[in-house]
Amino acid sequence: MQLFGKGANTLAFVSIAVVGLTGAGVVGLLYAFQSSPYVTQVDVYKNQPVPFSHQHHVQGLGMDCRYCHTSVEKSSQAGIPPTSTCMNCHKMIWGDQAMLKPVRDAWKNDAPLEWNGVHKLPEFVYFNHSAHVNKGVGCQSCHGRVDEMPLVAKKNTLYMGWCLECHRNPSPNLRPVDQITNMEWEPDEEWAHKNKLEHYGIREKKSFEVHQLTNCAVCHR
Amino acid sequence: MSKEKKVWRSLEEYQHGAKEEARFNPFNNDFLSRREFMEWTSGMVAVLGATACTRMPTQKVIPYTKQPERLIPGKPLFFATSMVLGGKAIGLLVESHMGRPTKVEGNPDHPSSVGTSDIFSQASVLSLYDPDRSQSLVSETNLAFWSAFVAKISGFAKALEAKKGQGFRVLTESVVSPTLAAQIQDYLKRFPEAQWHQYEPVNRDAEREGSLLSFGEDTTPVYDFAAAKVIVSLDSDFLGEPACPRYARDFAKGREVTKAKQSMNRLYSAHVSPSITSAMADHRAVVKSRDVELLALALAKACGLSVPPAEVSPALAKWANAAATDLRDNPGAGLVVAGRWQSPQVHALANAINVRLKNAGSTVKYTAPVEIVPVNQAQSIESLAKDMAAGNVDTLLILGGNPVYNAPSDLEFGEALKKVKHRIHSGLYLDETAKLCNYHVPQTHYLEEWGDAKAHDGTVGLVQPLIAPLYSGKSPLEVFAAIQGDAAASGYDILRSYWKTKSANFDPFWIRALNDGFVASTAAAEKKLVLKAESAWAKPIPRASAAVEVVFRPDPTVYDGRFSNNGWLQEVPKPITKITWDNAAFMSPATAKRLGVADTKVIRIAVGEKSLEAPVWIAPGHAEESITLSLGYGRTAAGKLGNGTGFNAYSLRDAKALWALPAVEVTATAKHYPISGTQMHHSMEERPIIRTATLDHHKEHPHWTHLHEPIPHALEGKELGTAGGSSAPVGPADYQWGMAINLSSCTGCNACVVACQSENNIPVVGKAEVARGREMHWIRVDRYFEGELEDPDTKFQPVACVQCETAPCEIVCPVGATVHDNEGLNNMVYNRCVGTKYCSNNCPYKVRRFNFFEYTKTITPSTKMVQNPDVTVRSRGVMEKCTYCVQRISSGRIDAKNEGRKIRDGEVKTACQSACPSQAIFFGDISDPNSLVSQMKSEPQNYGLLEELNTKPRTTYLGKLTNPTATLKAGKPA
């Protein structure tokens, strides 16, 4: 007796394909989930206790990033401005606006504002703002066009793979140090043809078996 | 070279060699079998895997409202302050992260510190955050507010005023604060019937009485070990001196031998109980406590002093003669140091020899004592106890200290205290004394208070707070001001108003003193002294009796008990005995044999009606028929960690004989008490690990560390330590980090271990886990004995990850969690580690540590504040090890790059290096031939540990040199 009918082979092939495709699909779905904005938080605008607009302050008023983020060139942290920085101006300007009440309350009660963090790295990663800014990585390269954001969202995943893209090949993201906070900067002819690694004293990859900027201890300690 | 001598670490190893029997087996006492362990592991893999994918939660970002001046978020600030211990202060620089002190360093400008620190100051920052500190004011068993307390005591004050202070007593520890002393003295002027007592269990009574004998006035010797070529220690532990790493540093400088300096000092040590000082000695005389006196007399006689003759054995006489000859040959460059646990006469004899041989004025300066009002503390507390018992004390203010626990037991201080009507205690803990008092005021930790304190040479340091009091504590200045009727005065104002009277131009003076951490040129002046004729005070000494004696010593880690609740200090192995979390009755192997006891066997020590049960721990190199009990254990109200550890040696102590009981009865009991020692953990098996030679041998054969290198067959013909094996994975970089450790300088004090623990967020695991060999210290100090059981040479070797260039750990890691970087560091990547432990198994140095549990989960919110924010806090299941303090390298590199320069030599210091009192550790860029570390590595005695395995370690050692005299056999008397 014929145990398997004519269609058995087809059935076998199809079931193998279905199992394989399902597996791949599950992996694909997981991957899609992992890289979705839900997980990465890219382009997710976060509400804040005060609807502070970077767009208004930077593009509208022409303030430099460093007016508020004072330690960006000196320290690992760029620095979230203390309430006193807000009050420098808002003592005089818009001092009676309802929108700014949380700021005035914070100042009056010496109880700091609690902002919702947008860019947050895991605790085992040690990122240093000063090391990047002083070597020509502009604010915009990682944070995007903050000057166009009324509320701020993350524009990059800040995943390790994304960090390594630049750590393996920094040149495209380097600019003159005096253009760090310029949101609209485009390389001119001279800069485009300049050896930026040499300019910043970064050793080139060819002289290394491992690129120094990808040493684990550069970020993990 | 000592090829004929054998090297060993424990009694088992002495008997069996480095064989199976002697090995440490962590599975001996385990509750899980290997098979059960595998079952649990496989089950947990699935559970843990499920937790891997998470979405980053939104975190709050909270800025300041007004940011403090000079504070840059992410950058630490350093403030100068002083810490008092043992009647003197050490100047420190304390690292503060956003207002949170995390790490203590020495103050380079301070005379006691000279940039280094000691085990106690390193660990003190943990005590600040101790959750068991007393947190509220207690008034007659109720919690109370400061104002209520002040109202109460002002009631007492009124009553006292009528009686001119009669019945009022103040008990303090040794007061070295000029401001506090001035406050107390003012008060005593107003109320002349009141009295001030000072007591701490480890005091300078013998030094004081000895000085009175020899000079007729109380002085303190300030030593300059850097100028001394010959040092004779009469039962002194000057290398373990608290709050004075300066001594260790100066001494070690004199033992450093380089191509440029082919000489070193010589140390003779007469002692009862082995200590880090006796371990450094070139010649030892191991005798009973009384016989040290006898030996001192023999030494004085041989130095030409007119003292009564001493009847000593021929061997000891030879020892004394050799030491005396050396001292006489080096007038003005010799030094005799008497231990604080020796008799006044030994101190007087040391003073007399120093004066006669012109050492006074060059290697030792006699100055006014550090204490503002020095007293004989044993007498002071005895008279207080008597007056209390007689009902003459109405109100007692105990300002710091824990006399109920640590006063000599014959005073029955606790019983006498109950007769006092108003008992006020101010201290860091609700301790044994606080429990018997009716008022307790939580004291501020030194990192929370304003104050001042004198250093070993009299220099006045300022105590500056790094943080506001965590638990509404009050500083001694504030408590005493409240007694005086000014409860509102802040410590800051009290301190400033005192110093305003001392300085004409106050503001610049104050700013300068705060910045420096001390008041410039306040060191005590040398006294002009006249030595009294020896015949007036030197008495003949009878030989010690044959009975078993007991000597008391401060514990090398918990000191007099004040650090019992400090996990770092409890877990760091004691330098000589390598036990943790306990004390024990230390005795020599022969004495133990005669008594029929062995390690961990409990014995009963009885003297008169008092008795004490304690476990035995055999200490090779201990005097015969003598038992050492270390103080500071057996506490009942220390806190969660300190309670129930060890046994209380104070219960045998006598006010008339603080340091030795000449005859005790010892009986063995049937009990055993488990002790967690680390001496056989992380063994590197039978290999030429520690290498020693005499200075003479070194001069003849400068490359002696390499001569007896056994070459494994696989490597024969290949150049050791430089080539062979796989090609180095090290690429070109701006720096190549390396370390050299000079074993001639290392005293084995463990400051590096605690400094590393503090810097690198290393958890404490507890006694039971230590017994399984799971202590987490990244750097350990291996202690080796060499020679015979009774009086072996003792050597120390600090071992951390040596950062092999061809690292065996890297090639076995399945997930690439440990890899090399361009600067020669063996990086450990915690977030990649899956915990296979292959790396640890393949590490010949046994320097990797595994987190068997999530040790940091159990720490309290306050203890979290001690963590260094620059170092990852590791989780369960992760391997970790020394990183050469890569966080410090990174921050040094970033600072240098931002300023457009290279890192300067000496700019980046590892935590162990900067803490090391004897400056035995050198670290820096080995690709720069001019760096200090390169120069040390170019010394001929430089060798790599196990370099015959071709691991190419970046940490190398300079072989240990000793300097015995030609007339005596090295080590013990022949």
Structure tokens at B936: 């040390």
Which sign does the torsion angle of CA B392, B395, B397, B402 carry?
positive
Q: Which residues pair with B365 in a beta bridge?
A: B222
- Measured CA to CA, the distance from residue B795 to residue B163 in angstroms comes to 61
- With a cut of 80, say whether residue B715 has pLDDT above it: no
B242-256, B552-566, B615-629, B943-957, range with the lowest pLDDT: B943-957
Which sign does the torsion angle of CA B859, B860, B862, B864 carry?
positive
* Other beta carbons less than 10 A from residue B600's beta carbon: 16
- Provide the pLDDT for residue B19: 66
Interface touch A41/B56, C-beta < 8 Å: yes
A76-85, B45-54, B520-529, B793-802, range with the lowest pLDDT: B45-54
Q: Which of B737, B757, B730, B732 is nearest to B889 (CA)?
A: B737
B318 class by beta-carbon count within 10 Å (0-12 exposed, 13-18 middle, 19+ buried): middle
Listing DSSP states for chain A in one string gives: --SS-TTHHHHHHHHHHHHHHHHHHHHHHHHHHHTSHHHH-BT-----SS---HIIIIIIT---HHHHSTTTTTSSS--PPPHHHHHHHHTTSSTT-GGGHHHHHHHHHT----EEPSS---TT----HHHHHTTTB-HHHHH--GGG-SS--B-S---HHHHHHHHH--GGGB--GGGTT-TT----HHHHTS-HHHHTTPPPGGG-SS-GGG-HHHH--
- With a cut of 90, say whether residue B427 has pLDDT above it: yes
- Measured CA to CA, the distance from residue B954 to residue B820 in angstroms comes to 12
Interface touch B823/A215, C-beta < 8 Å: yes
Residues of B in contact with A130 (CB under 8 A): 894, 898
Residues of B in contact with A177 (CB under 8 A): none
Structure tokens at A9: 């082979």
Listing DSSP states for B300-334 in one string gives: HHHTT---------HHHHHHHHHHHHHHHHSTTSE
Interface touch A75/B61, C-beta < 8 Å: no
Distance of alpha carbon B41 from the chain centroid: 40
Which chain B residue has the Cα nearest residue A44? B58
User: Which residue is associated with the tokens 């710091």?
Assistant: B400
B63 φ, ψ to 5°?
A: -80, 175
pLDDT tens string for chain A (221 positions)? Answer: 778 888 888 999 999 999 999 999 999 998 888 888 888 888 888 889 999 999 999 999 999 999 999 999 999 999 999 999 999 999 888 888 888 999 999 999 999 999 999 998 888 999 999 999 999 999 999 999 999 999 999 999 999 999 999 988 888 899 999 999 999 898 888 888 888 888 887 776 555 545 678 889 999 98
Which chain B residue has the Cα nearest residue A177? B898
Q: Measure in Å the smallest separation between the Cα of B824 and chain A Cα atoms.
A: 11
Q: How confident is the model at residue B952 (pLDDT cuts 50, 70, 90)?
A: confident
Q: Under 8 Å CB-to-CB from B750, ≥6 apart: which residues?
A: B119, B556, B557, B572, B573, B575, B781
Helix (H, G, I), strand (E, B) or coil at B707: helix
**Amino acid identity, residue B206?**
A
Q: Which of B339, B211, B322, B202 is nearest to B272 (CA)?
A: B339
More confident residue, B38 or B648: B648
Q: How confident is the model at residue B747 (pLDDT cuts 50, 70, 90)?
A: very high
- Measured CA to CA, the distance from residue B185 to residue A93 in angstroms comes to 59
Interface touch A71/B75, C-beta < 8 Å: yes
Q: Measure in Å the smallest separation between the Cα of B643 and chain A Cα atoms.
A: 35
Q: Under 8 Å CB-to-CB from B384, ≥6 apart: which residues?
A: B169, B171, B195, B197, B199, B393
Name the residue among B61, B829, B894 with its Cβ closest to that of A115: B61
Interface touch B883/A221, C-beta < 8 Å: yes
Structure tokens at A181: 């906070």
Q: Which residues pair with B590 in a beta bridge?
A: none
Interface touch B73/A114, C-beta < 8 Å: no
Structure tokens at B42: 């496989």
Name the residue among A71, A117, A120 with its Cβ closest to that of B74: A71
**Residue B838, Ramachandran bin (φ over 0: left; ψ between -120 and 50: alpha; else beta):** alpha
Name the residue among A41, A116, A212 with its Cβ closest to that of B733: A212
Structure tokens at B592: 């133990």
Structure tokens at A199: 């300019």
More confident residue, B263 or B973: B263
Interface touch B870/A221, C-beta < 8 Å: yes
**Amino acid identity, residue A35?**
S
Residues of A in contact with B868 (CB under 8 A): none
**H or E stretch covering B509:** helix B506-516
Residues of A in contact with B897 (CB under 8 A): 131, 134-135, 201
Structure tokens at B791: 């009086």
- With a cut of 60, say whether residue B423 has pLDDT above it: yes
Which chain B residue has the Cα nearest residue A111? B65
Residues of B with CB under 8 A from a CB of A: 53, 55-56, 58-67, 72-75, 729, 731-733, 819-823, 825, 827, 829-831, 870-873, 883, 886-887, 889-890, 894, 897-898
- Measured CA to CA, the distance from residue B80 to residue B465 in angstroms comes to 9
Which chain A residue has the Cα nearest residue B890? A218
Interface touch B55/A131, C-beta < 8 Å: no
Interface touch A38/B61, C-beta < 8 Å: no
Which chain A residue has the Cα nearest residue B901? A201
Span B763-776, pLDDT tens digits: 999 999 999 899 99
Interface touch B887/A126, C-beta < 8 Å: yes
Cβ atoms of B560 and B554 within 8 Å: the answer is yes
- Provide the pLDDT for residue A169: 85
Residue of B55, B56, B903 to mutate, testing the A interface (most A Cβ within 10 Å of its Cβ): B56
Structure tokens at B610: 């008092």
- Measured CA to CA, the distance from residue B356 to residue B29 in angstroms comes to 59
Interface touch B827/A82, C-beta < 8 Å: no
Interface touch B822/A106, C-beta < 8 Å: no
Interface touch B66/A82, C-beta < 8 Å: yes
Residues of A in contact with B736 (CB under 8 A): none
Q: How confident is the model at residue B712 (pLDDT cuts 50, 70, 90)?
A: very low
CA distances for B691 relative to A71, B262, B577, B704, B786, angstroms: 50, 18, 21, 9, 11
Span B581-623, pLDDT tens digits: 999 999 999 999 999 999 899 999 999 889 999 999 999 999 9
Looking only at the bridges linking them, the beta strands covering B626-630 and B585-587 are antiparallel
B161-165, B601-605, B705-709, range with the lowest pLDDT: B705-709
Interface touch A114/B873, C-beta < 8 Å: no
Residue of B53, B54, B58, B61 to mutate, testing the A interface (most A Cβ within 10 Å of its Cβ): B61
Span A19-63, pLDDT tens digits: 999 999 999 998 888 888 888 888 888 889 999 999 999 999 999
CA distances for B117 relative to A112, B109, B546, angstroms: 38, 12, 41
Name the residue among A71, A107, A117 with its Cβ closest to that of B58: A117
Span B84-142, pLDDT tens digits: 999 999 999 999 999 999 999 999 999 999 999 999 999 999 999 999 999 999 888 78
User: Which residue is associated with the tokens 């009755």?
Assistant: B585
Interface touch B63/A207, C-beta < 8 Å: no
CA distances for B948 relative to B432, B706, B718, angstroms: 55, 10, 10
Structure tokens at B227: 């100028």
Interface touch A221/B871, C-beta < 8 Å: yes
Interface touch A215/B821, C-beta < 8 Å: yes
Which chain A residue has the Cα nearest residue B816? A216
- Measured CA to CA, the distance from residue B357 to residue B909 in angstroms comes to 41
Cβ atoms of B559 and B737 within 8 Å: the answer is no
Structure tokens at B873: 């806090």
Q: In this structure, what DSSP letter does residue B652 have? A: G
User: Which residue is associated with the tokens 């240098």?
Assistant: B896
- Provide the pLDDT for residue B11: 79
Which chain A residue has the Cα nearest residue B54? A39
* Other beta carbons less than 10 A from residue B624's beta carbon: 18
Cβ atoms of A177 and A136 within 8 Å: the answer is yes
Residues of B in contact with A207 (CB under 8 A): 731-732
Residues of B in contact with A27 (CB under 8 A): none
Which chain A residue has the Cα nearest residue B53? A34
CA distances for B550 relative to B334, B623, B628, B630, B666, angstroms: 31, 11, 6, 10, 10
Residues of B in contact with A124 (CB under 8 A): 830-831, 872
Q: How confident is the model at residue B916 (pLDDT cuts 50, 70, 90)?
A: very high
Which chain B residue has the Cα nearest residue A217? B827
Cβ atoms of B762 and B907 within 8 Å: the answer is no
Cβ atoms of B783 and B578 within 8 Å: the answer is yes
Which chain B residue has the Cα nearest residue A113? B62
B683-687, B834-838, B871-875, range with the lowest pLDDT: B683-687
* Other beta carbons less than 10 A from residue B205's beta carbon: 20
**H or E stretch covering B269:** strand B266-271
Which chain B residue has the Cα nearest residue A159? B56
**Amino acid identity, residue B721?**
G
Span B377-422, pLDDT tens digits: 999 999 999 999 999 998 999 999 999 999 999 999 999 999 998 8
Span B191-214, pLDDT tens digits: 998 999 999 999 999 999 999 999
Interface touch A83/B64, C-beta < 8 Å: yes
Which chain B residue has the Cα nearest residue A125? B872
Q: In this structure, what DSSP letter does residue B881 have? A: -
ipTM of the complex model: 0.89
Q: Measure in Å the smallest separation between the Cα of A18 and chain B Cα atoms.
A: 26
- Measured CA to CA, the distance from residue B499 to residue B519 in angstroms comes to 10
Q: Model pTM? A: 0.91
Q: Which long-range contacts (CB under 8 A, 24 or more apart) does A52-57 make?
A: A52/A151, A53/A149, A53/A150, A53/A151, A54/A146, A54/A147, A54/A149, A54/A150, A54/A152, A55/A147, A55/A148, A55/A149, A55/A150, A56/A150
Residues of A in contact with B911 (CB under 8 A): none
- Measured CA to CA, the distance from residue B24 to residue B178 in angstroms comes to 52
- Provide the pLDDT for residue B708: 53
Give the number of residues written for chain B.
974
